[in-house]
Structure 1
């Protein structure tokens, strides 16, 4: 069975439980509010957390979904820059950030994540959303956007596409779920800097911004703020070749922008160029001197996304 067939077979969202809308905390439109929503997975219920920016009554919603080991606070800078135009919603995918961990680690799969995001959109009580997805968050967005009657109006894929290279998968597999317990916050931040070196040159303040939301203090020391179990499904499938999802990409019809780190080993340039020729015929913006993946913290990285989302095609 091909990976595409397996994805389609697995993609049967479980029934979802949508609780009443959360109360909105006080504060300006450029300050985050924190909420949770209950979701249903293959083996029970779990709650995911999300950060919300902007006017909670704004019907125009932007979903920002993070990468494999990251969390929704990665989008703080992007969210602030768009908070006067959108209700910006940045979820912590289950098992990451402030979201709950799954008891059955094999459930850390794309179908679970897609079902959770559909539940969250229902919670927000909107018919359509715009979507910015980094790496794994982009794959989730691609899957949602490929469905009939899908809710995504405009799609931004940050350093991800329908071909994921075997070399990048092996690199990620070397560290995901294997982080040690750190004796200090500083040691944890140093680890994050090392494994995230492809992010490019960041200031000390930017590294701290990424690290402070990625580490938590426990009785044992400082640990990464994600379930090590997210790596179990990742390592159970031998990585022998590139993963190709062109049929999923070709089913996307909404306007699409691809942001690519010019030195990325996950999204090759030839793949990004081909994405401009087929399917939604995505526009391409490349970030120089950055690998996988652009952090979307710099004004020069935010500007083309802002222009794409707010402009017309």
Structure 2
């Protein structure tokens, strides 16, 4: 397996600087950035990153978006949102000192990738969007709003794992070892014992201060010119089948890979999912 190193840089918000942590795998002339979902962190991509680094001989960078994992937390939770995330990713791109990157984004990370890819002069070369798209139904956001920002306490890692298995059943058919890995990388040991989830509950602020409604980003879609692969869980309530089909017919006319035994969002750990992403990024 390719080696990795944990690094960080500094992002800036209206309340000061904050740490942006990332794990860097492998070496190569090309760079792939893997961006995680709303309550997750960059360790979700350990399996995919090792495979891409080994097989494609590329550098793979997996950041923890601010407020998650090893990255810092914002003093003002109102600042958690896409303007801040995009700004931080621009800092990361500058730190990496590359002209082009490939982007793999799950859910929130996919939306960040879409927004970056749609910008004039975008550095994104190829884009993988995992179970998200230009339309997000209100019902899916309400479901997410029911758990995002919760701050449960767990007596041990087994309790963390049980919670994750229930909360993220849509990730698909993970092995026991993969669920355990997720529990270990999704939680922080507490000084007095026990565990809490490895994110700032303040990331839920947007769900608390504004009414939840459908999200319509279709005007963004035709601005994306890069080759796009969309991965969709067949039971997903966030990326609807009609939306995914339309993504293949309009704008960049994405390719579509459907994962039959997953909802929101495929974990990108199973061999077939990893191969779909790897083969797409191998072209061009």
Q: Could you state the TM-score of these two structures normalised by the residue count of structure 2?
A: 0.97
Report the counterpart of residue 46 of structure 2 in structure 1: 76
Report the counterpart of residue 208 of structure 2 in structure 1: 235
Question: Please, which runs of 5 or more residues in structure 1 have no aligned partner?
Answer: 1-28
| Contact map agreement 1:200 1:289 (CA 8 A) in 2 | yes
Query: After the TM superposition, which residues 58-97 of structure 1 pair with which residues of structure 2 at under 5 Å, given as runs?
Result: 58-84=28-54, 85-97=57-69
Report the counterpart of residue 52 of structure 1 in structure 2: 24
User: Could you give the per-residue CA deviations for residues 144-165 of structure 1, whole angstroms, max 9, x where no partner exists?
Assistant: 0111101100000000100011
What is the Cα-based RMSD across aligned positions, in Å? 1.1
Report the counterpart of residue 18 of structure 1 in structure 2: none
User: Among 175, 198, 207, which residue is 1:225 paired with?
Assistant: 198
User: Could you give the per-residue CA deviations for residues 59-103 of structure 1, whole angstroms, max 9, x where no partner exists?
Assistant: 300000000000001001111111132100000000000001110
| Contact map agreement 2:36 2:108 (CA 8 A) in 1 | yes
Report the counterpart of residue 266 of structure 1 in structure 2: 238
Q: Runs (4+) of structure 1 moved beyond 4 Å?
A: none
| Contact map agreement 1:162 1:249 (CA 8 A) in 2 | yes
User: Could you give the per-residue CA deviations for residues 100-150 of structure 1, whole angstroms, max 9, x where no partner exists?
Assistant: 111000111011001101110100000000000000000000110111101
Q: Could you state the TM-score of these two structures normalised by the residue count of structure 1?
A: 0.88
SS of residue in 2 equivalent to 1:93: coil
| Contact map agreement 1:63 1:88 (CA 8 A) in 2 | yes
Question: Please, which runs of 5 or more residues in structure 2 have no aligned partner?
Answer: none
| Contact map agreement 2:174 2:269 (CA 8 A) in 1 | no
Query: After the TM superposition, which residues 1-313 of structure 1 pair with which residues of structure 2 at under 5 Å, given as runs?
Result: 30-55=2-27, 58-84=28-54, 85-220=57-192, 221-239=194-212, 241-312=213-284
CA–CA separation in structure 1 for the residues paired with 2:82 and 2:114: 11
CA–CA separation in structure 2 for the residues paired with 1:300 and 1:308: 12
Q: What number of residue pairs does the alignment pair up? A: 281
CA–CA separation in structure 2 for the residues paired with 1:289 and 1:235: 32
